């Protein structure tokens, strides 16, 4: 059973995470320790329920097993905190002005290694946590039952140590007449500071995250001009060459698929081994569709986005399957995480290729030097100038400017 007050964890859960959570400064040693006891009880309570709710949902969601090492450490830290609460309560029962607490603090110094171990486990899997849709149910449960987010609870050990240091520093101020006590407290405070600094440095120096950023920075250097897409939490998933099916002639495109964007580029026309940025596509606003093989094109698929859609084909079926697998997984995860319904994404149509028809797809007049090909921005059909003398405001194409459309789409939408 959890030591201390564990029944009303919802009434004061936010206290543990504020740097200055005691409403007024203590005026003596006893007040300092009484405040510390209240803080420790709430902290232990939150860790206890955090771990309990994880065990509850982990029995249903087998995909959360990768979090088990993290919560094993949370359980150990919680047990240490409960032990500290128990010992502190016992000390306060026999309180006197000359009672020394330094020996109790000295016992806790060995516990701090677990805080460092905790962040050593957490940092490498933090990206996986943020992108795993199964973790969302757990996060919602925490907000509902505890009024705290997953991120608040995970980061609470650092906040707790800083708060603990602040309260015990106040206690030290009232204990200067006890020389042995003061020396033990100073050693304890130094250990807290070293632990917090170690955790913060490890959080900033997540090896996997640094490696991800370096890879993206190297890709940025391949581009001509000011191109910036490197940011914390973004990482490269897949890269490769695909061929874009354009209205006149097919064009080589170099694609870089990250966990939340797709970077489309082409070879620079002058500078060898350099790239020109074509566009950066937000996966949140993206769909893709398989295109069945034909005699002319094999291994093709469509990438449909807000603003513009296009088709590409891979050099072989294996490459196509790899791109479709990763696109499907990333897009579905992002949409599930953000609660986006499929119908909410209104993408631009795929344009028919010029070579697909020799006649206007509406009036059937033959194209020639004077009767040139145009495209309807709403349906993508190849049409003549006469059939495309209409304009519509299509917000999924351009929210401020009217665009060309055919007379059929104009009559239906105007």
46 and 162 within one domain: yes
Q: Cα separation of 300 and 290, whole Å?
A: 7
pTM of the complete model: 0.48
92 and 174 within one domain: yes
The dihedral built from the CA positions of residue 190, 194, 195 and 200, taken in this order, carries a sign that is positive
* Domain-terminating residue out of 153, 188, 205: 205
Task: Return the CATH number at 76.
Answer: 1.20.900.10
Q: Cα separation of 347 and 326, whole Å?
A: 20
- 4 inside domain: no
135 and 17 within one domain: yes
246 and 373 within one domain: no
pLDDT at residue number 13: 34
Strand ranges for 113-271 from DSSP E: 236-245, 251-258, 261-267
pLDDT at residue number 15: 39
Q: Cα separation of 170 and 239, whole Å?
A: 56
Please name the residues in contact with 380: beta carbons below 8 A apart, sequence gap of 6 or more.
309, 349, 350, 351, 352
Q: Which long-range contacts (CB under 8 A, 24 or more apart) does 58-63 make?
A: 61/134, 61/137, 61/138, 63/132, 63/134
Task: Return the CATH number at 370.
Answer: 3.30.40.10
- 249 inside domain: yes
329 and 238 within one domain: yes
Residue 136 CB coordination number (10 Å): 14
- 3 inside domain: no
216 and 200 within one domain: no
* Domain-terminating residue out of 205, 231, 253: 205
258 and 165 within one domain: no
- 128 inside domain: yes
256 and 201 within one domain: no
Closest CA to 20 of 4, 35, 10, 6: 35
- 349 inside domain: no
- 385 inside domain: yes
Q: Cα separation of 392 and 401, whole Å?
A: 8
Show the domain range for 253. Answer: 211-344
193 and 179 within one domain: yes
Task: Return the CATH number at 252.
Answer: 2.30.29.30
Q: Cα separation of 274 and 297, whole Å?
A: 28
β-bridge partners, 302: 289, 311
What's the chain's length in residues? Answer: 414
167 and 188 within one domain: yes
pLDDT at residue number 21: 44
Burial (0-12, 13-18, 19+ Cβ within 10 Å), 183: exposed
Please name the residues in contact with 333: beta carbons below 8 A apart, sequence gap of 6 or more.
131, 132, 133
Q: Cα separation of 78 and 111, whole Å?
A: 10
* Domain-terminating residue out of 156, 185, 205: 205
222 and 95 within one domain: no
Distances (CA, A) of 315 to 246, 255, 274: 16, 14, 22
180 and 263 within one domain: no
- 7 inside domain: no
pLDDT at residue number 105: 83
Burial (0-12, 13-18, 19+ Cβ within 10 Å), 252: exposed
- Number of compact structural domains in the chain: 3
Helix residue ranges, H only, 132-178: 133-146, 150-173
pLDDT tens, N- to C-terminus, the chain (414 residues): 333 333 333 333 333 334 344 445 667 888 889 999 999 999 999 999 999 989 888 887 677 888 999 999 999 999 999 999 999 999 898 888 788 888 888 777 778 888 888 888 887 777 677 767 778 888 888 888 888 888 888 888 888 888 888 899 988 888 888 888 888 889 889 988 888 888 877 665 566 777 888 899 999 999 998 899 998 788 999 999 999 887 677 889 999 999 999 999 999 999 888 999 999 998 887 888 888 888 877 898 888 887 778 889 999 999 999 998 999 888 888 877 776 555 544 566 768 777 778 899 888 899 888 888 888 888 888 889 889 888 887 766 776 788 888 888 888 776
- 6 inside domain: no
CB 74 within 8 A of CB 47: yes
Q: Cα separation of 107 and 35, whole Å?
A: 20
């Amino acid at each position: 059973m959890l030591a201390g007050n564990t029944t009303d964890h919802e009434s004061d859960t936010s206290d543990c995470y504020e740097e200055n959570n005691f409403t007024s400064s203590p005026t003596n040693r006893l007040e300092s320790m009484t405040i510390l006891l209240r803080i420790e009880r709430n902290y232990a309570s939150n860790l206890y329920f955090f771990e309990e709710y994880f065990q509850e949902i982990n029995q249903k969601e087998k995909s959360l097993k990768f979090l088990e090492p993290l919560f094993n450490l949370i359980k150990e830290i919680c047990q240490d905190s409960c032990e500290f609460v128990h010992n502190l309560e016992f000390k306060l029962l026999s309180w006197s002005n000359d009672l020394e607490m330094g020996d109790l603090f000295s016992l806790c110094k060995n516990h701090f290694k677990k805080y460092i171990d905790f962040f050593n486990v957490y940092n490498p899997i933090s990206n996986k946590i943020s992108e795993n849709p199964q973790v969302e149910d757990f996060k919602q449960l925490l907000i509902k039952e505890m009024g705290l987010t997953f991120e608040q609870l995970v980061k609470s050990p650092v906040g707790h140590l800083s708060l603990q240091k602040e309260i015990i520093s106040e206690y030290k101020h009232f204990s200067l007449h006890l020389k042995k006590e003061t020396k033990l407290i100073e050693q304890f405070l130094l250990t807290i500071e070293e632990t917090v600094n170690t955790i913060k440095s490890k959080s900033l120096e997540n090896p996997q995250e640094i490696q991800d950023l370096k890879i993206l920075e190297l890709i940025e250097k391949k581009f001509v001009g000011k191109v910036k897409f490197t940011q914390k939490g973004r990482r490269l998933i897949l890269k490769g060459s695909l061929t874009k099916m354009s209205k006149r002639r097919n064009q080589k495109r170099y694609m870089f698929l990250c966990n939340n964007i797709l970077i489309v580029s082409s070879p620079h026309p002058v500078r060898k081994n350099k790239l020109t940025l074509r566009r950066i596509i937000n996966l949140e606003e993206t769909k893709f569709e398989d295109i069945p093989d034909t005699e002319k094109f094999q291994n093709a698929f469509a990438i449909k986005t807000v603003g513009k859609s296009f088709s590409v084909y891979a050099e072989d079926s294996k490459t196509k399957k790899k791109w479709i697998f990763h696109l499907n997984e990333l897009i579905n995860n992002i949409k599930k995480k953000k609660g986006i319904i499929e119908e909410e994404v209104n993408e631009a149509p795929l344009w028919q290729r010029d070579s697909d028809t020799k006649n206007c797809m509406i009036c059937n007049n033959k194209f020639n030097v004077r009767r040139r090909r145009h495209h309807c921005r709403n349906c993508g059909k190849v049409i003549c100038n006469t059939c495309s003398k209409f304009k519509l405001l299509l917000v999924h194409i351009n929210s401020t400017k009217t665009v060309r459309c055919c007379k059929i789409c104009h009559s239906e939408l105007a």
